[in-house]
Structure 1
Amino acid sequence: MTSQWKSFLQNLGVWEGSFTTFSPQGTLLNDTPSCLSLEGLNNNQTVRLTLSRSGRDDVIREFMSVGGGLLFFENGSFSEGLIQLGPFSTFGAELALIHENRRLRLVQLFNENGDLNQLTLIREHLAGTPVAERPALQLSDLLGEWQGEAVTIYRDLRSPDTYSTKLKLQVDAERLIQTTSFGERTITSTATIKEPLILFDQDPQKQVQVLLLPDGASATSPVKVQLRQPLFLEAGWLIQPNLRQRMIRSYNDKGEWVSLTLVTEEKR
C-alpha cells in the first residue's frame, strides 16, 4: 500500500474553484471564489498549504506528516474530520474526491445539539486546465443499477479491504427504493422524494438525508447525530453519466471514527 504521505502528494498543485455553502434543505447561502496552493518544499518533505478566498490569504498551514483525523487513498482522495463524536459539541468532516484535473470536496457540519447545520461544496480544478463541470445532480441521473468496487481503509492503518458493490435505485409509488450490496451484505431502504432532498425516513429516530447538489454532487448525512448510535457521512460525485464515486466516513456506536471507504461504480 502506498504510504499516506505519498498519497497526500497526489494533491500538489494550484487548485482554483469556489466554496459554496448550503442550508441542510439545499438553499444556497453564499458562493466564494477560491484558490488553494499545495506546494512541496525541501524535496517534498514539507507541504505548504495556502488558501485564498476573495483575494486574501485565509489559511496557511505546513505539513510534515499526516494522521489524526486525516486519511488518504492511493489516488489522493481523502477525508479529514473529528475522530470522536462527543456530547454538546460541534461535529463534522470533509470528504474529498479526485478525478484527473478536478477535485470535489464536501464539508458537513452539525451544531451542538447534533442537528445538521451547514454543508459546503468545494469544486476545484488545477490551474491552467479546462473546467468541465457537471450539471446539478437529478434523481433521474441515479436511477438504475450500479456495480463497482469498494476499498476500505482504517484509522489504525491495518490492511485495506477490497470488495464488490451493487447499488439499485428505483421509484415505486412516489418513493425511492434503494438496495445496496457490500460484498455479501444487502440492505434495502425507502425514502421520500422532495428534490433536491431525498429523506430516508422509515425510522424517525435515525433519519438520513441525501441532498442533490451542483456538479453531479450529493451529500448523505444523518439529519441528527446521536450518541451511542453508529453513523456515516457520504459524498457522491457523478463524474460521467455512467461513472460515479462515493466516499463514506464511518463511526461506531461509541462515536469513534473507524474507517473510510471509496466506491467507484459504473451504471449497467
Structure 2
Amino acid sequence: MNCKEIKHLITDYHDNNLDQTTKILVEEHIENCLTCTQIYQEFIHLIDIINQVQEELPDKDLELNFENILAKEKLAFKTSKSTVLKPKSKVLRSMLQVAATILLMISCYLLGNYKDNVSKAKEIATLKQEKTEMQTIATLSLMENESASKRLQAVSYAKAITKPDSKILKVLIIKMNNDKYTNVRLAAANALAKFAENTKVRQALVKALETEENANMQIELIQILVDIEEKRAIPTMKKLLQNTETPTYVKDQINSELKQII
C-alpha cells in the first residue's frame, strides 16, 4: 500500500470504519512511512482544532502581561498532544477528508510521484490554496470559542497565515474592537499590524484609536500606527494629548512616538 492509496483511507482508518485486513495494511504503512506518520499526526491535530467546542473557564494566565501569554500559547500549541475526537457531522467529516487528502497529496508531490512539471506546479498552487482555506476554517471556528485562551490561540493561527482572506481580517478587527478580554484585543491588534498593507486594516486601526478608551490598547495602537507610518492617526493622537482624561503614560508614549511620523 502506498501514500496515494492511504490518502483515500485515512479518514475511515481514523474513524475505525475499515475491515480488519485493510486496517492492518494502513496501520503498517503509517508505522513504516515517516512522511505518512507526520501527516497522520497533523490530521489528528486538525481534528482537535476543529472540534474545539468545550467551554473552558478563562485561564488565570490572562492576568499576566500580553507577551507572556502569547509565548505560552505558542509553546502549548507546539507541545500539545492531540485528542482523537469523532467528527460531529457529515459536513465536518467531509472537511476532514479534504484536509487529509490535501496533506497526503502534498507529500506525494514532494516525493516526486508526479513527473509532469507544468501540471505539478499548477496542482501544488491549488493544494496550497486549499490548505489555506482549511486553516481559515479552523481559525474561524476557534475564534468563537468561549475560552479566551483558545481565542488567543486562534489569533496566533490567523497571524501565521501568509495571505488571510477578508473573513480572517474581518474577525480580527471585530476581536480587536469588541472582545471582552483585553489580551485578546491586544493580540488581534498585533496580528492586524502584520497585514497593514491592506487598506481596510489600516482604516480599522486608525478608527480603533479614535474610539479606544483602554489605555493599554491605546498604547498598542499608537505603537502600531507609528510603525506603519499612518499619518491619518496624527489628529487623534493630538486629541489624546489635549484630553485631560488621557493617562500621563499614554501621553508620554504619544510624545515619544509622534515625532517619528510628523
Instruction: Quickly name the TM-score band, shorter chain normalised.
Output: under 0.3
Structure holding more strand per residue: 1
Structure holding more helix per residue: 2
Q: TM-score, normalised by structure 2?
A: 0.23
Structure number, greater radius of gyration: 2
